[in-house]
């Protein structure tokens, strides 16, 4: 059963917390009242709410900046179209500044209008930070879900794209995938993304794994 309770890591200090506690942690520990950039604190969730991100981005940044980031960390497979939508599915222009969204605003997002991945974007606070190189900064991300092989229970490596319609995707270790006669051409790697197993998504632009990220940001 999918639950809401997938813990994540703070990318600024490494602490491991649930989604709500993480928001409070970020506001308390990592906002910099003297910072020159006023930012929106943004929560992004998949339809499966075990996938979540906390981000900040200057109020002067645009939805396009957010779209670019979401594509890199979670979505990009073949350059599909995407859109941010308000209630009633009215589409926001990609040039819309984040300052247009007040604290508490929630908007939808869709990547790929065929095999769509839907996300929910919540503007959950305003913070300040020192000037950053990138507009969108990753503050926290859910830890990878530990998918188990449906046959033997070992950690899974592949997801069967032919069988994505159950409550949980069918995942296999490589050995069992061969035995189970999963068509390996139709299998995709396990990724930490709500787009896992969809279209041709392999997560090759996702360089935001916690271990990898911590290594790169050590001076
Ligand atoms: Zn922290
Ligand atoms: Zn695709
Ligand atoms: Zn197995």
106-158 pLDDT per residue, tens: 999 999 999 999 999 999 999 999 999 999 999 999 999 999 999 999 999 99
- Checking DSSP bridges between strand 158-160 and strand 16-17, what pairing results, if any? unpaired
What residues flank ion ligand 3 with Cβ within 5 A?
149, 151-152, 154, 173, 176
The 3-state DSSP class for residue 99 equals: helix
Q: How many CB atoms lie within 10 A of CB 96?
A: 16
pLDDT exceeds cutoff 50 at 2:
no
Q: Quick one: pLDDT band at residue 217, thresholds 50, 70, 90?
A: low
Tell me how far the alpha carbon of residue 41 lies from the centroid of ligand 1, in angstroms: 14
Q: Which fold has domain 8-142?
A: 3.10.290
Listed residue (45, 38, 1, 39) closest to 20, CA to CA: 45
Contact 66, 45 (CB under 8 A): no
For residues 44-72, average pLDDT: 97
Give pLDDT, residue 103. 96
- Residue 127: enclosing H or E segment and its boundaries? strand 117-129
pLDDT exceeds cutoff 70 at 218:
no
Tell me how far the alpha carbon of residue 10 lies from the centroid of ligand 1, in angstroms: 5
Sequence-separated (6 or more) residues with CB below 8 Å from residue 149: 155, 156, 171, 172, 173, 176
Q: Quick one: pLDDT band at residue 4, thresholds 50, 70, 90?
A: low
Q: Quick one: pLDDT band at residue 3, thresholds 50, 70, 90?
A: low
Tell me how far the alpha carbon of residue 116 lies from the centroid of ligand 2, in angstroms: 10
- Tell me 79's DSSP state: -
Tell me how far the alpha carbon of residue 205 lies from the centroid of ligand 3, in angstroms: 27
CA distance 6 to 20: 11
Tell me how far the alpha carbon of residue 147 lies from the centroid of ligand 1, in angstroms: 26
pLDDT exceeds cutoff 60 at 71:
yes
Ligand nearest to the CA of 170: 3
Say which range, 1-15, 19-33, 126-140, 149-163, has the weakest mean pLDDT: 1-15
Domain ranges of the chain: 8-142, 158-213
pLDDT exceeds cutoff 90 at 211:
no
pLDDT exceeds cutoff 90 at 216:
no
pLDDT exceeds cutoff 70 at 81:
yes
Tell me how far the alpha carbon of residue 83 lies from the centroid of ligand 1, in angstroms: 31
Tell me how far the alpha carbon of residue 139 lies from the centroid of ligand 1, in angstroms: 8
Contact 138, 26 (CB under 8 A): no
Tell me how far the alpha carbon of residue 143 lies from the centroid of ligand 1, in angstroms: 15
Cβ contacts of 146-154, under 8 Å, gap ≥ 24: 147/171, 147/190, 149/173, 149/176, 150/176, 150/180, 151/176, 151/179, 151/180, 152/176
Give pLDDT, residue 82. 98
- Tell me 75's DSSP state: I
Tell me how far the alpha carbon of residue 158 lies from the centroid of ligand 3, in angstroms: 10
Q: What is the largest CA-CA distance in the chain?
A: 59
| Average pLDDT over all residues of the chain | 93
Ligand nearest to the CA of 30: 1
Tell me how far the alpha carbon of residue 201 lies from the centroid of ligand 2, in angstroms: 6
pLDDT exceeds cutoff 70 at 165:
no
Sequence-separated (6 or more) residues with CB below 8 Å from residue 206: 72, 73, 74, 191, 192, 193
């Amino acid at each position: 059963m999918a639950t809401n309770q997938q813990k994540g890591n703070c990318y600024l200090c490494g602490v491991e917390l649930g989604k709500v506690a993480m928001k409070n942690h970020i506001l308390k520990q990592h906002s910099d009242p003297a910072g020159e950039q006023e930012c929106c604190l943004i929560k992004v969730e998949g339809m499966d709410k075990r996938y979540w991100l906390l981000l900040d981005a200057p109020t002067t940044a645009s939805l396009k900046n957010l779209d670019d980031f979401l594509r890199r960390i979670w979505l990009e497979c073949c350059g599909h179209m995407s859109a941010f939508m308000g209630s009633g599915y009215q589409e926001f222009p990609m040039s819309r500044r984040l300052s247009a969204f007040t604290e508490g605003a929630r908007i939808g997002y869709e990547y790929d209008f065929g095999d769509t991945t839907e996300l929910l974007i919540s503007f959950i606070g305003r913070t300040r930070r020192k000037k950053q190189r990138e507009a969108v900064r990753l503050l926290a991300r859910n830890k990878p879900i530990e998918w188990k092989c449906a046959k033997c229970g070992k950690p899974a490596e592949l997801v069967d794209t032919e069988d994505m319609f159950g409550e949980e995707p069918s995942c296999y270790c490589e050995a069992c995938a061969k035995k189970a006669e999963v068509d390996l051409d139709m299998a995709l790697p396990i990724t930490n993304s709500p787009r896992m197993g969809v279209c041709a998504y392999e997560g090759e632009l996702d360089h935001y794994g916690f271990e990898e990220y911590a290594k790169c940001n050590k001076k």
